Structure 1
Amino acid sequence: MTRSPLILAGDIGGTKTNLALYRLREAGLELETKRQYASREHADFASIVDHFLDASAIAQIDAACFGIAGPVIGGVCKTTNLPWEIDTRQLQARLETPRVRLLNDLESTAYGMLYLDDVDFVDLNPAAEPGAGNRAVIAAGTGLGEAMLFFDGQGYQPVGSEGGHCDFAPATPLQQELLSWLWERHPAHASTERVLSGPGVYTLYQFLKTKLIAPEPEFMRRLGPDEDPSAKISEGALLHNDPLCRETLALFAAIYGAEAGNLALKTMATGGVYIGGGIAPKILPFLQQYFMESFRAKGRFSPLLAAMPVRVSLNPETALDGAAHFAADNLLGLAE
């Protein structure tokens, strides 16, 4: 190509969809424009793409990559939390290029982790020694995403999963009570995502409220219909030091650590565990206090877990940048 290639990247979630254009320069990727859309306000993804392209007045897209909250099978994704079906072939036709790839959103998040600087992370296990090997990536947000960066001896390849929908495994007597409480409400399947996600914060709060460990705060009793209860719980814990809200985030952080440890064992993440998503940076003090104890609590394998780096990404654009970098590294060399 005689001109600098233009890449369209997207991070498609149940709540919001971010699209951006990147120009590939010799020095790397350069962001040209970015727009955010409320996902549920659109009937399908194609209408968002059309709006973005029209607003950006683009002449030609050279490659495109989209991270999507849902399984990608045969180039098609039926989104988990939206009534959309996204098809690679349709996007290739709309964008007039064969260089289009759909990734699971945690694949794009994982790939984006490879391009972050040290200042973009907070280490939860600062005594760990970084090593070679696979990396595990976990991200609680609207849902719970899990992925792996497979190390082939030279570089990393993202491998997606739907691990967030596996069964919730209690690790303490209190969590065993939580599981029984969840079964009453979800007898068909009590997944980890039920408690380890944005909505999961409120689920944990409702469970702990039944335990009468602390009185319910006035601001939760007067919660408005348009207010996000999980956000109010975090605010109550971090700003108002409310006991019930603090216990909620402590339980959330402990479950987060335990599930991250499960993923680390399943992927043999000697290269480290990376935490993405929008929740972790917002509740960082609770992760710093409660995460690692649960993460390490794996019996005979505790020493293995204790040696793994565990890092929280503070960069909210990790998934979007990861999709752009994946396109630059893996799609632009494809023959027409």
Structure 2
Amino acid sequence: MIASANNPVLVADVGGTNLNLALLAPEEGRFRLLRKARFSTQDERSLLDPIRRFLAASPALQPGRACFSAAGPVLQRCIRLTNAPWDIDGAALERELGIPVHLVNDFIALSCGVIQLDLTDPRQVTPLPHGDGSLPAADPRGLALVVGAGTGLGVGFITRTAQGTRAFPSEGGHIGLPLFDAETLALWQYLQEGLPGPPGAEMAVSGMGIGHLFRFLLDSGRVARTPETAAILALPVADQPAAISAQATANPACARTMALFVDLYARVCAELCAAFLPTGGLFLAGGIAAKNREHFLNEGRFMARFERNYRAHLDGLTRATPVYLVHDYDLSLYGAAHAPDCTS
């Protein structure tokens, strides 16, 4: 069935914290938002229950097809969620909903959304100036890299060839935790305790990572415990990252946490750039970047760490890489609607 305003596309972005649903109608090669709603992933027992409630609220808008994206690999039309207590079965959803259902990794959807961005529109992206003030232009034919910290850390990439533009997922969020000074070495040792192997980047560069960094700084005595830090630690774990970010301008422990988070984010991106060579741009996507632009931009913090490498040619690589901070938190919803066209 061809999607239209009367038979829109049903899309979902299922993260470890939030489950976002939307109905989108095609419009001149793009998609227009008709309706969206947010649910708590942790409070739901499956994807089907919130979908039924969402569609029941708009009986005149019944979808003709669906594309659902989630944090986890797609295997045999199923996604085992990496940060949630339930899984997604595409075949079962197709039977229950009576429409074609397409499943993609969440960073496939986000990458498909990045393809649609207008890089000249400041409402969509902020180019991050390099240390020398330059803003390199993205090569429209080059590979683009998408790195996004949310509940976890995701990595995707986009290729442009004569056969078309294609988006691919990766498990790059699980590369090793980068080390660059005595403090990050101490952090590595702190996070490694009790693990069967070395800690991955996601343990620090993610929403849960912000909580890990905060507790590391407190437990190691690098920042002082105060009534404010005790109040943050008393919150549910899922609520702590937002509280830490919100108090970063007033609380020294929160400020130090966010500074270390941005430093580690930058080093993860620098190491991924060495592997992917993203002349088409590095895109900082996901909820944390979109909501915390000031921490990346203030005093050029992200770029200062991103451009500091152990070899001169790597300095040249990172200094030539266009870097964009993506604003639209709903980008993955639009990307999910486009996903069947840029993954086939």
Select which of 13, 18, 40 maps to 2:42.
40
Pick which of 180-189 and 115-124 moved more: 180-189
The aligned counterpart of 2:114 is: 113
Q: Secondary structure at the match of 2:42?
A: helix
In structure 2, the CA distance between the partners of 1:243 and 1:25, relative to structure 1 (3 Å rule), is closer
**How far has the Cα of 1:317 moved from its partner?**
0.5
- Is residue 331 of structure 2 the alignment partner of residue 318 of structure 1? yes
TM-score, length-scaled by structure 2: 0.87
Q: Deviations over 1:116-140 (max 9, x none)?
A: 2322111113521221311100111
1:199 is matched with 208
Distance between the aligned counterparts of 1:179 and 1:290, measured in 2?
A: 21
Matched, 1:139 2:148: yes
Counterparts of 2:95 and 2:302, CA distance in 1: 46
Residue 138 (structure 2) pairs with residue 127 (structure 1): no
Instruction: After superposing the two structures, state which structure 1 stretch, 158-167 or 21-30, moved more.
Output: 21-30
> What are the superposed Cα offsets for residues 47-97 of structure 1, whole Å, 9 maximum, x if unpaired?
222222222225753221111011112321111111222122222223323
Q: 1:263 aligns with which of 267, 272, 278?
A: 272
Change (3 A) 1:244 1:28: closer
User: Relative to structure 1, is the Cα distance of residues 155 and 294 closer, same or farther in structure 2, using a 3 angstrom cutoff?
Assistant: farther
Kept in 1, the 8 Å contact 2:153–2:202? The answer is yes
The size of the alignment, in residue pairs, is 328
Deviation, structure 1 residue 22? 1.2
Tell me the CA shift for residue 283 of structure 1. 2.6
**2: CA distance between counterparts of 1:58 and 1:294?**
51
Q: Secondary structure of the equivalent of 2:247?
A: helix
Identity level (%) = 32
Q: How far off its partner does 1:154 sit? A: 6.3
CA root-mean-square deviation: 2.3
Does structure 1 conserve the Cα–Cα contact (< 8 Å) formed by 2:229 and 2:253?
A: no
Q: Does 1:180 align with 2:189?
A: yes
| CA separation of 1:237 and 1:96: change in aligned 2, threshold 3 A | same
> What's 1:21 paired with?
23
Aligned-residue offset at 1:153? 4.4
Is the 8 Å Cα contact of residues 14 and 69 (structure 1) preserved in structure 2? yes
Q: Give the conservation status (yes or no) of the 8 Å contact 1:61–1:96.
A: no
Structure 2, unmatched stretches of 5+, are none
TM-score normalised by structure 1 residue count: 0.89
> How many Å separate the matches in 1 of 2:208 and 2:304?
24
Does residue 233 in structure 1 map to residue 256 in structure 2?
no
Regions of 4+ moved over 6 Å:
none
Q: 2-side partners of 1:24 and 1:225: how far apart?
A: 42
* Superposition deviation, residue 270 in structure 1: 1.0
Q: Which moved more, 1:157-166 or 1:27-36?
A: 27-36
Aligned to 1:67: 69
Residues of 2 paired with 1:184 and 1:308: CA distance?
Answer: 35
